[in-house]
């Protein structure tokens, strides 16, 4: 199914110094010692604890002819044919998860014990009566059995408005129960500024999670803002490599240590 829709996806550039060490998909801010892109710099500064491990399946753009994946994850348009967007997203997550399980589990320090999805709050996506990702997860072998709806909207209007402005705010979410020692795979369909994922990661850590690794379907970027990103964008999409296992990947010593355990 994903093969017929390969045109939707865009390669994430190989991780390397000069690109953000968290999302790997945007240039690190010049002079920033932490090697973070502008979005991750802002999203990680405002939370108790952030996840340094974000693995995007694909880049996406909001403008131009290449906005189909963005439209799909924000449910503005259904893919061609009889498919529903959720089925295509499930096939995408299943294929990527199967191909890159070691890339996901290595930074977690071991196999995942819990799969969580980020509940719909904030305005990076249209208001929907239900969340897409919990349905997507139910179709993915290997994720279904680990999925528990532990992450809930926090019910704080101001926090949700902050997220809508790409300002991280942990009060946008709450965790049901304790997560002591859990290694969490955190799934979200769209990573724009990182404020949602990092706010969610932070409340998971506060609840006792040992590790949080975020798998995001679409990383929203300006593909033309950086030549390394533009080069990756222009190549035909390859499900066989991600930004971490790409042969061209060169990790900073910190990230390399974390990855190699
Ligand atoms: Zn980043
Ligand atoms: Zn990989």
**Considering the domain boundaries, does residue 258 fall inside one?**
no
pLDDT at 215: 98
Q: How far is the CA of 50 from the centre of ligand 2 (A)?
A: 21
Ligand nearest to the CA of 11: 2
Cβ count near 126 (within 10 Å): 9
Structural domain that includes position 168? 3-252
pLDDT at 30: 83
**Considering the domain boundaries, does residue 216 fall inside one?**
yes
Ligand nearest to the CA of 96: 2
Q: How confident is the model at residue 254 (pLDDT cuts 50, 70, 90)?
A: low
Average pLDDT over residues 190-213: 97
Q: How many CA within 13 A on the CB side of residue 205?
A: 18
Contact between residue 217 and residue 54 where contact means Cβ atoms under 8 Å apart: no
Sorted by sequence, the CB contacts under 8 Å of residue 45 that are 6+ apart come out as 168
**Considering the domain boundaries, does residue 203 fall inside one?**
yes
Q: How confident is the model at residue 34 (pLDDT cuts 50, 70, 90)?
A: confident
Average pLDDT over residues 177-183: 97
Three-state SS at 9: coil
Q: How far is the CA of 201 from the centre of ligand 1 (A)?
A: 15
pLDDT at 74: 85
**Considering the domain boundaries, does residue 107 fall inside one?**
yes
C-alpha span between 221 and 219 (Å, rounded): 6
**Considering the domain boundaries, does residue 149 fall inside one?**
yes
**Considering the domain boundaries, does residue 260 fall inside one?**
no
pLDDT at 124: 46
Q: How far is the CA of 13 from the centre of ligand 2 (A)?
A: 12
Work out how many domains the chain is built from and give that number: 1
Tens of pLDDT, residues 214-239: 999 999 999 998 999 999 999 999 99
Tens of pLDDT, residues 70-112: 988 887 665 555 457 888 999 999 999 999 999 999 999 999 9
**Considering the domain boundaries, does residue 134 fall inside one?**
yes
Q: How far is the CA of 239 from the centre of ligand 1 (A)?
A: 21
**Considering the domain boundaries, does residue 23 fall inside one?**
yes
Ligand nearest to the CA of 41: 1
Residue 58, H or E segment: strand 54-60
In order of 12, 102, 111, 143, 155, the CA distances from 106 in angstroms are 19, 6, 8, 17, 34
Q: How far is the CA of 214 from the centre of ligand 1 (A)?
A: 12
Evaluate if residue 213 carries a pLDDT over 80: yes
């Amino acid at each position: 199914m994903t093969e017929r829709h390969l045109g939707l996806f865009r390669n994430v550039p190989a991780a390397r110094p000069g690109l953000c060490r968290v999302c790997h998909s945007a240039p690190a801010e010049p002079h920033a010692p932490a090697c973070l892109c502008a979005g991750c710099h802002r999203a990680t500064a405002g939370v108790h604890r952030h996840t340094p491990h974000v693995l995007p399946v694909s880049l996406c753009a909001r403008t131009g002819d290449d906005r189909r994946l963005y439209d799909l994850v924000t449910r503005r348009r259904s893919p061609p044919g009889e498919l529903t967007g959720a089925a295509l997203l499930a096939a995408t997550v299943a294929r990527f998860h199967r191909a890159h399980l070691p890339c996901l589990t290595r930074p977690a320090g071991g196999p995942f014990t819990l799969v969580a999805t980020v509940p719909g709050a904030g305005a990076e996506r249209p208001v929907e009566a239900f969340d897409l990702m919990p349905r997507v997860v139910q179709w993915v072998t290997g994720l279904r059995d680990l999925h528990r709806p532990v992450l809930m909207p926090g019910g704080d209007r101001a926090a949700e408005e902050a997220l809508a402005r790409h300002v991280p705010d942990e009060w946008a979410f709450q965790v049901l129960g304790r997560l002591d020692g859990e290694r969490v795979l955190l799934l979200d369909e769209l990573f724009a500024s990182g404020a949602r994922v990092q706010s969610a990661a932070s409340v998971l850590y506060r609840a006792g999670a040992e590790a949080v690794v975020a798998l995001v379907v679409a990383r929203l970027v300006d593909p033309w803002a950086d030549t390394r990103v533009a080069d990756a964008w222009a190549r035909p999409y390859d499900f066989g490599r991600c930004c971490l296992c790409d042969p061209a990947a060169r990790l900073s010593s910190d990230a390399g240590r974390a990855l190699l355990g």
